[in-house]
Chain A
């Protein structure tokens, strides 16, 4: 999310030369901790504030105000020639931990499965690991199979998906190009399979998505309010460019 925050800050400062915004990375926990300690005007977080953090903030006399600024969704992609159209989270987890190694086991052709992932420093890597491989279970210690190919860029993933019918990959929904096939995902074998799209992400039916938040100490006002208003309107363009999903009301599509 730090990339998005940086992009916002840069283009906003280009338009409003008298506003200075400095962005620091470090993860959602770092941002919220800084908010609690009163050292930042806005904290970005890719998860909601925890009840205990809320308690700490209130103890410090700070009333965190939550704004959803964008949606982050991960599409699971395969080669267009792969007959597999849909998978459950359980199946994807088994594929990425190396329990399922042939497409036949999930209704495809008799081909080995080649696992693609972003590098481990990518936020998408951690999100995918926590929400898909471990299926949100905090006590799970499942990891990516050591056979997983870690590619340094989205372009690396799409190049391999495009030309290799064995490959399965994942990436931010905005990075998925038309020459990759995004799979429909179901939480379990009994629930419905949902294709990733801006509409299904916004209505919450697509399972691998999360809202991205900004927190301010109390109701935003003045410069902060102007900045946040801009993010909710014109700033949604950056959301799209960086592969995230813009908010529904800002998106006429």
Chain B
């Protein structure tokens, strides 16, 4: 990989700022407002995090560990085994990514590398519209249309399965994956393509052996972001996965119902008595979810830094 000798964008901006500081008061005002707004975002995140900790941490003292890591989730009877919920969330998310990854990358390649410009101009806004469909609408579609198909054609006892949820989640993760992966493909220097074509590679070989590998880090980021979207999704999942808190460990677990952490929190939070053990456990599940998404974001960040270190900013 090439290292760019150019200064980074933030260096440029800093020197620009110094030059334009001819109206110190208004400059100071604008700068302060921007600063306050910027820090308030961080402030909100920190406050939410502390709220989550305050409400969730009592879980780990009120409920025994053996209960929390248990396999039975019956909150009405003080059985708070989070294992089925955690595995349920992971199963649905992983299957969703397995579905969305090839589709998303292939679509990105098509939009960026293959499609003629007018098709690209048509497809890009359409993909963005895809991201705007409310999840409850998708959930209803899944419940009434997808679930019967899954039951009839895949032989599952019921259509409300992890697979149905994964299909919807995969679909919901697609716009994220396509746009980010497309940006990554776009960032591959034209010289790579030129060099490959000049050496006699076909267009197909150029795409799959030069361009896509060069955009690897960006594609990983795309998948991670899509995964973050999928694991936190609630409404559609609650509507189509059946919400049975069972251990999804059989070989055909994908074609059985599961209960995810998000669906559990959404379904039970409304009726739970504030300050009760059950209430704390639901926030505890929120902490587990938070840690999971945090780890995913961390992975994204490190992938991003790798990309920047490797190729420099465009």
Which residues of A line the B interface, CB within 8 A? 26, 111-114, 119-121, 125-126, 129, 143-144, 146-152, 156, 159-160, 163-164, 166-167
Rounded to whole Å, the gap between the CB of A33 and the closest CB of chain B is 15
In the complex, chain A residues whose CB is within 8 Å of the CB of B76: 120, 125-126, 129
Interface residues of B in 137-166 (CB under 8 A from A): 143-144, 147-148, 151, 157-160
Can you list 15 A-B pairs with a CB-CB distance of less than 8 A?
Answer: A111-B157, A119-B268, A120-B76, A120-B268, A121-B268, A121-B272, A125-B76, A149-B158, A149-B243, A149-B257, A150-B243, A151-B160, A152-B239, A152-B243, A160-B158
What CA separation (Å) do A26 and B272 show in the bound complex?
A: 10
A149 touching B238, Cβ below 8 Å = no
Interface presence of B94 (CB below 8 A): no
A146 touching B267, Cβ below 8 Å = no
Contacts A120-B268, A159-B143 supplied; 15 other A-B pairs, CB < 8 Å? A114-B157, A114-B158, A121-B268, A144-B74, A146-B72, A146-B84, A147-B257, A149-B242, A149-B244, A150-B242, A152-B239, A152-B243, A156-B143, A160-B147, A163-B148
A146 touching B151, Cβ below 8 Å = no
Interface presence of B246 (CB below 8 A): yes
- With contacts defined as CB atoms under 8 Å apart, how many contacts are there between chain A and chain B in the complex? 76
B246 touching A147, Cβ below 8 Å = yes
In the complex, chain B residues whose CB is within 8 Å of the CB of A159: 143-144
In the complex, chain A residues whose CB is within 8 Å of the CB of B239: 152, 156
Rounded to whole Å, the gap between the CB of A131 and the closest CB of chain B is 15
Give the interface residue-count category, chain B. 20 to 34
What CA separation (Å) do A143 and B244 show in the bound complex?
A: 13
Interface string of B231-250 (1 = CB under 8 A from A): 00000001100111111000
Q: Ordered nearest first, which 3 A-B pairs have the shortest CB separation?
A: A121-B271, A149-B242, A112-B157
B238 touching A152, Cβ below 8 Å = yes
A146 touching B244, Cβ below 8 Å = yes
What CA separation (Å) do A119 and B239 show in the bound complex?
A: 12
Q: Which of A113, A121, A143 contacts B74 (CB 8 A)?
A: A143
